[in-house]
Amino acid sequence: MPELPVLTSPLLDLPGVRHAFFTRQGGVSEGIYASLNVGQGSNDDPAAVAENRRRAAAHLGGTLVTAYQVHSAEAVAVTGAWPDRPPEVDGVATATPGVICGALAADCAPILLADAEARVVGAAHAGWKGALTGVAEAAIARMEGLGARRDRIVAAVGPCIGPASYEVGLEYVARFTDADPAYARFFGPGANDEKRQFDLPAFVLARLRAAGIAACEWIGRDTCAEADLFFSNRRAFKQGEPDYGRLLSAIVLL
């Protein structure tokens, strides 16, 4: 099987660490899920999803571990595959080589983190709710519990909905400015006075920096705008599709 097409961040090209922001290409799913859909919560053929996940795990060389994501601000430490049902959290961290920490997304922001010196990695799924309530900070805390130091952690935000694609209403803006009036800076003018454009990746990066992660970046890819490479919840909704695939972002200690 050929190598899967993936995106990477130079920040995470670290000794003893491998990572990948997988695209929708290189899998076996069909139709609206074509082709590398790794979402077990989608209505895709479970056998196809299992094969796609197997391919992704083989690309990184380990055991893929993803949570049952619920837009929370919770993260857990892992040492291997779940014994039964995955926990309902949105961040995973490990110090165990060969355990692939993964985050699923289809417009939400996947975050991959690493402290190469401490040999600790993590992944988090940050939709607007998780980003606002602290999922990045929760993942960082779990990594610290495994020996990482936030002044050494580097982070990359993978493909997610970009500011040009993320139109929201004023009630959405209020959720953020009620938490901190300074968050108004992440909203730009919309199509009319009742709309704004939200910069999710910039918000996630700001939260990472405020948490002490100095080296962090967004890889600059908009899931909603690039249909050939990425699944997108918002694009699927606009096109009247009944469901959508999920992308995988993942990191592992070698």
Chain segment 14-47, per-residue pLDDT in tens? 999 999 999 999 999 999 999 999 999 999 999 9
Chain segment 98-145, per-residue pLDDT in tens? 999 999 999 999 999 999 999 999 999 999 999 999 999 999 999 999
Q: How many C-alpha atoms does 236 have within 13 Å on its Cβ side?
A: 18
* CATH classification number, 6-162+199-253, choose in 3.60.140.10, 3.40.309.10, 3.10.20.30, 3.40.50.300: 3.60.140.10
The residues, any chain, with a CB within 8 Å of residue 139's CB and separated by 6 or more, are 75, 91, 92, 93, 111, 113, 122, 123, 124
Report the mean per-residue pLDDT for the chain: 97
Q: What is the pTM of this model?
A: 0.98
**How far apart are the C-alpha atoms of 123 and 143, rounded to whole Å?**
10
Spatial contact of 73 and 90, defined as CB atoms under 8 Å apart: yes
Distances (CA, A) of 57 to 54, 127, 251: 5, 24, 10
What SS3 state is found at 187? strand
**Pick from 39, 42, 67, 70: which is nearest to 53 by CA?**
39
Residue 1 has pLDDT above 60, yes or no: no
Q: Where are the domains of the chain?
A: 6-162+199-253
Say whether the peptide bond before residue 249 is cis (omega within 30 degrees of 0).
no
